[in-house]
Structure 1
């Protein structure tokens, strides 16, 4: 299984190397990238996304330091994700999502009680809808 980058949409707000790393984390969390999944070469990713190969190299270095990408001279770069790494990624992405949501709610002066009530209502509605789908 090869991790694909075609669906990655880069933005102008965040550093590109961090966007690449976040994308790989999301692929791990979604189960699209598992231990042993191969990553394209740095040159392939750079060409595909039309970005500087040095930026891709920086992303790989970042992911290797974080432990969820391993690179060897014989096998190239592959995903490595044990239970600890998966839990770290899940926690990090969940906390970031919630922090952004809380900030947005606070920006429009919503009360925590109102937000929790709306979350419960939407959660129940979404769960019911998903269970009804064929």
Structure 2
């Protein structure tokens, strides 16, 4: 069963989208794979101390995006194929880059300054 103990919720983003992004990152890092079982909605709500409706909303979003499926009373499982993996990879890449650019612009860094900093620090991290 997928472990959500590493998920640290913030007050900035909707909880249901944070849950979905957590699973997407796990898929991208190959820490979960097709067929892995998710906890029930009720179990997840208890574990994360959230409203069960929020857990339901997260599962609905993940099902709509195609990387989670629910089969009757057999619970919810991860579904990943090459197309879904590439779609998640592209989404996370763009999301991370946009967030970084916004932060850089908020402190008035120029494009050149950002590129120079990346070149300087790339191997340090």
> Paired residue for 2:63?
64
Deviations 1:81-113 (A, max 9, x none): 111111111111111111111111111111111
Q: How does 1:55-134 map to 2 (within 5 A)?
A: 55-126=54-125
Q: Secondary structure at the match of 1:51?
A: coil
4+ runs deviating over 2 angstroms: none
Root mean square deviation, CA, Å: 1.2
Shift of 1:32: 1.0
CA contact (8 A) 1:3 1:32 kept: no
Shift of 1:125: 3.7
Gapped regions of structure 2 (runs ≥ 5): none
Shift of 1:76: 1.2
CA–CA distance in 2 between the matches of 1:48 and 1:17?
A: 14
CA–CA distance in 2 between the matches of 1:13 and 1:103?
A: 15
Aligned residues: 125
> Paired residue for 1:33?
32
Shift of 1:121: 2.1
TM-score (norm 2): 0.94
CA contact (8 A) 1:35 1:80 kept: yes
CA–CA distance in 2 between the matches of 1:29 and 1:91?
A: 10
TM-score (norm 1): 0.88
Gapped regions of structure 1 (runs ≥ 5): 127-134
Q: Secondary structure at the match of 1:124?
A: coil
Q: Secondary structure at the match of 1:44?
A: helix
